[in-house]
Structures are given as C-alpha cells and as structure tokens.
Structure 1
Amino acid sequence: MSFSDGSKQPTPYTGNPVRLALQDLALFLRITFTWPLGKGLPSIIWPFWPFKSRALDELYPNVQNMWTLFLHLILIVFQLGFLLVFVPSLFIAFPVPLFSWTPACIAVLVFVVTGNNVFTCLLNGFKRDFASEVDDPNWEKHDDEKWIFVNGVAVGSHWMQSNLDRLALTFRRPICGIHNRTRGIIFDVIEVIIQRTFNYMTPDAREVYAKIRHHIEERESNNKAKWKKIILILHSQGAVEGGLVLDWLFATVSQELLEGIEVYTFGSAANHFNSPTMRNGGRIIRHIEHYANMGDYVSRFGILNFRSLPWKTKINNKVSRTLVQKQKGQYVGKLFVRQQSGHQLNGNYLDNLFEMDENCDGQLTVVKEDNEYMSANVDEFLWQNYDALGRLDDRTIWDATGQWGANVQNGSSVRIKEHSRLWLYRNGLSPAD
C-alpha cells in the first residue's frame, strides 16, 4: 500500500518473514549509507560529551570504558571481515571455494561463532544476576515495586552496571538487571533482525520471560501478590525482547496478573509493541511510554520507522513530507520524540531527559526539576494526531500544514513532563494511581 506522499507502509510484523527480512535489509542500507555520514552509524554515539553523569556515562574516558570500546573495535573489524568473505561465498564458490557450502564452510562457521562467543566473555563476564549497587538509607522505601531493566546492543557487564546505577539514582529505587549479553555490535544487529523478523526468542529473551513471569506470580504467605507494580525499563534491543516477552505473557498468563506491569522504552529497536484492548475499552497494560531521539540510528531502525509520525524536511527550499508507518494499534504507547541524536542510555537519554544535579564532590544527587526537553511546551498538533510528544519549538519539523513556522505561537502551554508518567517516579516520587 502506498500513500499520497509516495511512502510505503511497512509489512506488518505478522507478515511473510522473507519480505520482512528484505524490508529490514533495505531499511538498513537506506539509513546506513546516507549523507552526511554522521547521520548513519556515528549517530549511535554522537554527541559523546559533556558526560553529565561522569563515570556512569558509557563513553566517559576512564579505563573501563576505553577497554570496552577497544574490545568492541576488535569485534567490529573481525566481524566485518568475516561477513565480507562469508556472505558472497554463500552464492558463489569462486574465488573463495573454501567457504562454499561444504563441510569446511560449516566448520569455519562453527569456529567463528564459537571463537566470537569466547572472546565476548571479556565483555560479558560470567555474572548472571545484576542489580544496582548504589543505595541510600534516606531513600523512601517502595517494597511493593519491582523494577527490572533489560539492556540493548553492545552492552557488556560494565555498561550494564553503569545503566543500573544511573537508573537507581534517577528513581531512587533498587533496579534489577536481566543481562542481554553482547556478541559484538554487528552480530547483535543481526540478532535483532532475526528476533523481530521471525519472532524468535533467543536464550536471553527466554530468560527475560522466565524471570518476569516468576515475579508476576510471586505471592506473600497470605497468597497476596508480592508486587503491586512491576516496572520494565527496556533499552534498544531490550525493547525487542521485552515486546516478544509481552506477547508470550498475553498468551500464557491471566489478564489480572498483568495489570500491574508498566513499560518504558528508550531507543526501541522493536517493530511492534502490543497491549490488547479489554472489554471496558482500556488496555491490559495501561502505561506504556517510548522515548526516542530523532537522530538515533537504532530508533530510526526501530520505533521511528514503525510508528505513525509526520516528519518534514526542507530540501532546496522545497517542502518534502515523509509519513512514517501507518499501522494503527501495532505500536501501542505514548511516543516522546526529541530532536537530537545518540543512542547511549546514560549519555544520550537519561542525561538529557532526567538531568541530575551533583554535589561538590561530583556525586549525582537529585534529578533537576527543569531541563530543556521536559520543560518545553507541547506541540498539540503532534499530540492530538499522533499520540506523540514533541517540543513546540520544533514545529517546523512536525507542521503538516505546509506552512513553515506557522502556529508556533498558538500552541499549548502544557509542558512535556506533564504527560510523562515516568517523570513522576523521579527522585523516589510516585504517580497518583
């Protein structure tokens, strides 16, 4: 199906997997080989300063982060070289007959995958259970809440711990982590495509399902549910796994057990997000929010390609309108969009959406009550028509009337943070239910 602007509707996630794979490949090529080059893969880490969370930021220049980046660089070179040789050999035996579909090919493939998994132990370590390591006896207790974080691509044990500690400081609650282990950026992206194209639950995703199901079924001695709320924080590939886990839960667990779950994603790489409608018109999971940077490579590969959203650009003084995805009901939840790049959870998302003050020793203290994005006025056109929150000052991006800059003065005085439920959890607070 095509639309008046020439854009095409993506194949539904339930469609032909071959078509889905080809669609993902075309999307990958379109957003990777772009100009300027900085809008492609480099947008994952750009901007990589000013390190508002100091050592907790993924790219802060300390020994652990530099070692992590060095290991990833080795993996990128190795994996790229392997794919450049191996992929063409799947179709031709010359000039690399060794890698044609022969026992030698299979042996090499097994050797490469096994060797890659062994090498990535340097990133992942052998720890299976993660939890935030920052705490303060003055924090208010929320003993009836369970906060769970699932990380995204390229996150080893060190970055996982940094993410958990930054989340704990932001919301003043202990955060448990379910580690989605990295196999290197390139192999992780391939895994994302396989997961969302074939709805394939990898071993890590199955672990996420098992642990979340365990928590929603936990009972006190009086048979009362142990957790009033289960808060899922999902980043990048973690949103792919989280979405698939929810699909399984909708099919295997009673509706009543799921009503206490809340979901918040950052830089989602998923191609769908479900929450079935109940008879009363509400949804089983009532609170789902997505946060995405418009220039984030992974967001463009995921949520920004599969959510309905107007996006205008100006080329040679002519207005060009792009309408991205029109599949109603396949990506449930509010979308908070920010006109910046960067994919790192701490450095590019939390540092800007939940900017924190620090004391004289450089230790993070409390989330500031105002920041550039959350304190901005809402663009009511975007909110009313697309269930998305953006800055009023960015109206030249979203205005679908074709009048650049029109109506900027006539927008809402409501601020973005007034629509964000996650914002209400900052500094140990809780929203009124």
Structure 2
Amino acid sequence: MHHHLIMPGLPKRQNHDGFDALFDQHEADITSPLLPTKSSARATMASNIKYIAPQMDPLAGSSTKAARQSPMRLMIQDAGVLLTMLPYLPNIFLPLKAKDSSDELYMNVQGARDMILQGWLMIMETSLLLMAPLALLILPGLVSMTAIALYSLTVYLVSWPMEGPDLTYSKMDDTTKAMAEKHRDERWLFVNGTATGHSGLQKNIDRISKTFGRAIIGIHNKTYGLPADILECLVQRSFAYKTQDVRVAYSYVKAVLVDPTVKKVVLIGHSQGGIIVSLVLDELFAELPTSCMSKLEIYTFGSAASHFSNPLVSSTTEEHSPVSPTSAPAVHFDIPSQPKHVISHIEHYANEHDMVPRWGVLHCIQDTLNNRYAGSVFVRMGASGHMFNQHYMNTMFPLPEKDAHWMSGSFLDNRVKMDEKLAMKRENMAMSNIGVMRREGGLEFGDRQVIQDGMGMMTGSSQTNANTIMTFARTNTGYLLAEEAQGKTVRELSRLWRYLGGRSPHTPTPFPTMGGEAQWLNGKNDKTQGLKQFTSIPSEENFLNGKSGKGQGGKHHRALTDLS
C-alpha cells in the first residue's frame, strides 16, 4: 500500500502527461509545503550552481547607479564594461546543437529566414557604426546625415519581416488548456530579449505555457539586429529611456495589477526583457499601492538589467540609550528578524559564460557592491548559451517527455555553492552608505556618528571619537541567508519550479488592502468608469476560448496607451 503526502493547495488532477507521476513520486519526500527535505532516495548532484542570496539591506542603504552618476558618464562606463565582455560574444550561441523545433537555433524555414536577416543586420549595423564617424568627418554635413538616414531606413526594412503585434498569446494544446483553466485568477507575462523576432517570441511563450501549465501573454520587444539591440540596452540602462516595448509592458502590467479579479501576476523577462521589467517596476512602485504590487512575482533569465528595485515594507524603530559621561550616546535600530519587501519573490537565472548576464545581473551584483539589485540568483557555473528555450529552459526546466530524469539528478537537485563573502560585502557596503550620508549630513552641526551592527562591524570614525553610536541588529540579513542556504539544493531555494506542470506553490496571504483603496478597486469611487475602461483588456479567458487573433495585440495596445 502506497501513501503519498500531497502538498497543500495542489489539487489532484487526471494524469494528462508525465508531470503527475513525477510530482507524485517527489511529493512523498516533502514534509513542508515550502521546502522539500533531502531524500536519501533522490541523490543530489555535485555542486556546479552558484547561489547569490537576496540583498536584504534592512536600512535601505543601497541605491541604483543611475541615482549616483550622470547618465552620460554611466553610459560611457557601461560601454567600457561591455567591450571587456566581447570575448564572450560567441558563447551567446553555444552550444549550437538544437534538438527540437522549439529551439531557437533549429533549422526550419522560419528559423533560417530569421537567422539570415539577423546576420545581414549585424553586418550592416557593424559597418554603419564603423563608417558613421568617418562619414561625418569627411562628407558635408547634409550628405553624411542623409546617407546615415538611408542606411537606418534600410535596417528598418530588413528587420520588418520579424515584427509582429505588441501582444502575442501562447498556443495551448488540450492538456495545457485544462491546466490553465484552474488558474483564471493569474496572469503570466513574458518579455523577450535581444535579437528575437515574432516567431521567436511565439516559441518562447509556447514553451513557458507547456512547462508551467498557464496561458502566457508575450510582450514583444522588437528587434532591429543585435548591434542595434545592444545599443538600445545601453540607452535604457543609462538614461532609463522608455522605449515602445517598455511603454506597452507598463500599460499592460499596470492594468492587470489594479484588476481586483487578478490575484497573482507572474512577470518573466529574458535578456533585454530584464531591463524592460526593471524599468516597468520603477514606474509602478511610484504609482501603485503595496496591495497591488505584492501580487507580483518576478523571474528573469540571462538578465541584462543593471538594477532591480524592491522597496521595504517593514520599518525600523529607534531606542535611545541613556547618556553616559564616559561614552557616546547610542541609538539602537530595532529591525525585524527578516525584513519584508513589497515583492516577495524575485529570482534570476544565469549561465556563467553567457555574455549578457555577465554584463547584466552578474556584473551589477558581484562587481558593483553598493548597487541595488533585489532577488536571489542561480548561476550555472561553466555553462554558456543565451537562447531562452535552448540554453535556459531545456537545461533548467526540461519537459518530462524530453528528459525522463528532470525531477531527479537535474539542475534542481544540484547543491548550491554559496559566496558568503559577497553577501557580507553587499550588506556592509549598504550600511557604509548610510554612515557616509549621515556623517555628511551632520557635519554642519559637528555630529560625528558611527554605525555599528549587531556583529560588531563598524563604519565611520572610531567609537572613542563619536558623538553618537548607531547600532542595528544584523539578525537575518543577506549574510545569514547565505549561511542558511549552504548545502541546500536549487529545489529547496527556488520557487519557480513549484509551478511545473500546472501546480501552484503554497503562498501567504497578500498584504491587506487599505479601506479607501478597497473601495476604489470595488468600483465605489468617482473613477469607477475609468477603472473599468482601463481593465478592459484581453483576459486569460480569451486564450482558453481561442479568441487570440494575431491582429488583436495592436488594438489592445492602442486602447491602453490612450489611457496612459
């Protein structure tokens, strides 16, 4: 007689495919709705996954580079770092072997067409970048500008066949549709990366849909060739420039977040899509209440983003100790044991030798310690490749019919390697920033302050020269999270895998809604009509009923942009 411990909140389904049998086998080892135990029956693999613990920063001392430097200087520095990454450029395509028609490098008619167009664009744009400065110096101004304009027009015309509607919908078979039916109160959105045409986006969202059993909305980040896309990344990162795809993503994500019938919004970004997601979050944090933003979960793959914000929702309180004639007065900051952030789950996945995340998420966390970059990071050490389906999904979240051992002995069962020193450096740098700001702010009054955490780490001048000593308890910051993760598997630390096969993880209740805000969301407000219009967007029901015509994306986008 067999007994299975079923995870709470995961209803039993008919065995449509290999997902159920594999999950049932694994659920016998689970004793917690959140973290599975280490099972002796399931051997874990040797560690080749690096895990970077989330940045807790309980005093909010970190900040984005854009907040500290001028955009032009930031762009020059960014370009310099990018040039050092060029030796990794071939790794974007390696390994080349494509086994399935859903792989980006698979040779079919449409794939071959896109590759030819991308190759042509790369040659044209590289030559344009090399010749444009020379043309401006040698040719008369009007002639050189006309030549550059004609060249740019040619680039646009060559890339035009790869364009599609702003919004694209996943194609689902009956099995996937049956799974998606159970999650009508969720919205799953995907933003593609560089050098991805409409057909590539369709492949991506179909793959996500089949893997996680959800209807997926694809927000098309249009491509104009790899060099032009990289230049656009530089401008977006340095100037926070809102390109067309950022505006589309912003309008749609905001619409679903304020919709009271939507309980969860999962936003996935790949490559440049990580930059777009980051810029959208910056806008939404400034506009929407916590009760709306807390619906979000963020997952990125090979992210090129330079920062990720996630504000704190827990506050600190101060206690002043009595003044002693022999010591400086102390201010003790009482910080919750685990500081809470608005978005509970942000995860980044990267291949170590992929050029894009080396310039993006990995550089901006490992080499820029005082940068704000929220979320945990899983890095496949020694791995290369940047294609979303071929190099990320196939290796991290393979389909059961493609890999019979995906639930054991796979990426998920690798024990992670922790970089505890990096976690400590990031937390100390954030604390140091607070010390610098407070000291500089108090110079006018001669107030020399020292910050000391619960582990004895100090920043600022020595304690004997201080007028004030500020202390906070480092009870569960990034360093201790890193220690706790040591020896665990990816499966124990990742949340995304719990959605495999249409499942859902056990989730806590979202942040409570304030009274006035609840009335507004329920329509008891003068702006009710505006809200109804704003949330009148393609719903998941359109997917399930097959109402997802190719031309609808542009219509919906026009309706949204008229309101924004």
- TM-score range (shorter-chain normalised) is 0.7 to 0.9
The alignment status of 1:55 with 2:101, answered yes or no, reads yes
Q: Distance in 2 between matches of 1:371 and 1:191?
A: 39
Q: Which residue of 1 aligns with 2:113?
A: 67
The alignment status of 1:127 with 2:165, answered yes or no, reads yes
State the one-letter code of the partner of 2:76.
Answer: L
Shift of 1:413: 4.4
Secondary structure of 2:348's partner?
Answer: strand
Q: Which residue of 2 aligns with 1:115?
A: 154
Q: Distance in 2 between matches of 1:274 and 1:212?
A: 16
Residue in structure 1 matching 2:76, options 22, 33, 45: 22
State the one-letter code of the partner of 2:77.
Answer: Q
Residue in structure 2 matching 1:385, options 417, 423, 433: 423
The alignment status of 1:276 with 2:311, answered yes or no, reads yes
Contact 1:375 1:416 in 2 (8 A): yes
Contact 2:124 2:155 in 1 (8 A): no
CA RMSD of aligned residues (A): 2.4
State the one-letter code of the partner of 2:169.
Answer: A
State the one-letter code of the partner of 2:346.
Answer: I
Q: Which residue of 2 aligns with 1:420?
A: 494
Shift of 1:127: 2.7
For residues 380 and 27 of structure 1, do their structure 2 counterparts lie closer, same or farther at Cα, with a shift above 3 Å needed? closer
The alignment status of 1:368 with 2:406, answered yes or no, reads yes
Q: Distance in 2 between matches of 1:159 and 1:382?
A: 38
Q: Distance in 1 between matches of 2:229 and 2:409?
A: 33
Report the TM-score when normalising by structure 2.
Answer: 0.61
Secondary structure of 1:164's partner?
Answer: helix
Matches within 5 A, 1:132-147: 132-135=170-173, 136=175, 137-139=177-179, 141-147=182-188
Q: Which residue of 1 aligns with 2:204?
A: 163
The alignment status of 1:105 with 2:144, answered yes or no, reads yes
Shift of 1:267: 0.4
CA deviation vs aligned residue, 1:218-250 (integer Å, no higher than 9, x gap): 2xxxxxx11110000100101101101100001
Q: Which residue of 2 aligns with 1:408?
A: none
Secondary structure of 1:347's partner?
Answer: helix
Secondary structure of 1:343's partner?
Answer: coil
The alignment status of 1:267 with 2:302, answered yes or no, reads yes
Secondary structure of 1:55's partner?
Answer: coil
Contact 1:354 1:367 in 2 (8 A): no
Shift of 1:184: 0.7
Contact 1:17 1:197 in 2 (8 A): yes
State the one-letter code of the partner of 1:109.
Answer: I
Matches within 5 A, 1:192-203: 192-203=233-244
State the one-letter code of the partner of 1:103.
Answer: L
Q: Which residue of 2 aligns with 1:301?
A: 359
Mark the runs of 5 or more structure 1 residues left unpaired by the alignment.
Answer: 1-8, 35-39, 219-224, 309-323, 359-363, 389-410
Structure with greater Cα Rg = 2
Shift of 1:349: 0.4
For residues 139 and 116 of structure 1, do their structure 2 counterparts lie closer, same or farther at Cα, with a shift above 3 Å needed? same
Q: Which residue of 1 aligns with 2:443?
A: none
Shift of 1:382: 4.7
For residues 372 and 387 of structure 1, do their structure 2 counterparts lie closer, same or farther at Cα, with a shift above 3 Å needed? farther
Matches within 5 A, 1:233-382: 233-280=268-315, 281-308=339-366, 324-328=367-371, 330-339=372-381, 340-358=383-401, 368-382=406-420
Secondary structure of 2:76's partner?
Answer: helix
Q: Distance in 2 between matches of 1:30 and 1:262?
A: 33
State the one-letter code of the partner of 1:165.
Answer: D
Secondary structure of 1:13's partner?
Answer: helix
Shift of 1:203: 1.4
Shift of 1:381: 4.6
Shift of 1:108: 2.4
Q: Distance in 2 between matches of 1:22 and 1:381?
A: 30
Secondary structure of 1:262's partner?
Answer: strand
Contact 1:150 1:234 in 2 (8 A): yes
Contact 2:271 2:356 in 1 (8 A): yes
For residues 261 and 231 of structure 1, do their structure 2 counterparts lie closer, same or farther at Cα, with a shift above 3 Å needed? same
Contact 1:170 1:367 in 2 (8 A): no
Q: Distance in 2 between matches of 1:273 and 1:173?
A: 25
Q: Which residue of 2 aligns with 1:217?
A: 258
Mark the runs of 5 or more structure 2 residues left unpaired by the alignment.
Answer: 1-61, 316-338, 427-484, 508-564
CA deviation vs aligned residue, 1:379-429 (integer Å, no higher than 9, x gap): 2455993799xxxxxxxxxxxxxxxxxxxxxx9542111100001111111
Q: Distance in 1 between matches of 2:145 and 2:98?
A: 46
Q: Which residue of 2 aligns with 1:82?
A: 128
For residues 282 and 134 of structure 1, do their structure 2 counterparts lie closer, same or farther at Cα, with a shift above 3 Å needed? same
Q: Distance in 1 between matches of 2:282 and 2:386?
A: 25
Residue in structure 1 matching 2:91, options 43, 54, 57: 43
Q: Distance in 1 between matches of 2:116 and 2:149?
A: 25
State the one-letter code of the partner of 2:129.
Answer: L
CA deviation vs aligned residue, 1:169-215 (integer Å, no higher than 9, x gap): 11011110110100111100000000111110111111110111111
State the one-letter code of the partner of 1:83.
Answer: L
Q: Distance in 2 between matches of 1:120 and 1:367?
A: 40
State the one-letter code of the partner of 2:179.
Answer: W
Shift of 1:30: 1.0
CA deviation vs aligned residue, 1:95-154 (integer Å, no higher than 9, x gap): xx24xxx22233223322233222211111x43320110232442511111000000000
**How many residues end up aligned between the 2 structures?**
360
Secondary structure of 1:378's partner?
Answer: strand
Secondary structure of 1:232's partner?
Answer: strand
Secondary structure of 2:416's partner?
Answer: coil
Contact 2:369 2:425 in 1 (8 A): no
Residue in structure 1 matching 2:195, options 154, 162, 165: 154
Q: Distance in 2 between matches of 1:254 and 1:295?
A: 39
Q: Distance in 2 between matches of 1:275 and 1:371?
A: 33
Q: Which residue of 2 aligns with 1:320?
A: none
Q: Distance in 1 between matches of 2:279 and 2:495?
A: 23
Q: Percent identity?
A: 34
Contact 2:219 2:249 in 1 (8 A): yes
Q: Distance in 1 between matches of 2:70 and 2:486?
A: 43
State the one-letter code of the partner of 1:112.
Answer: Y
CA deviation vs aligned residue, 1:352-403 (integer Å, no higher than 9, x gap): 0002222xxxxx6999213532211122455993799xxxxxxxxxxxxxxx
Secondary structure of 1:272's partner?
Answer: coil
Q: Distance in 1 between matches of 2:293 and 2:218?
A: 20
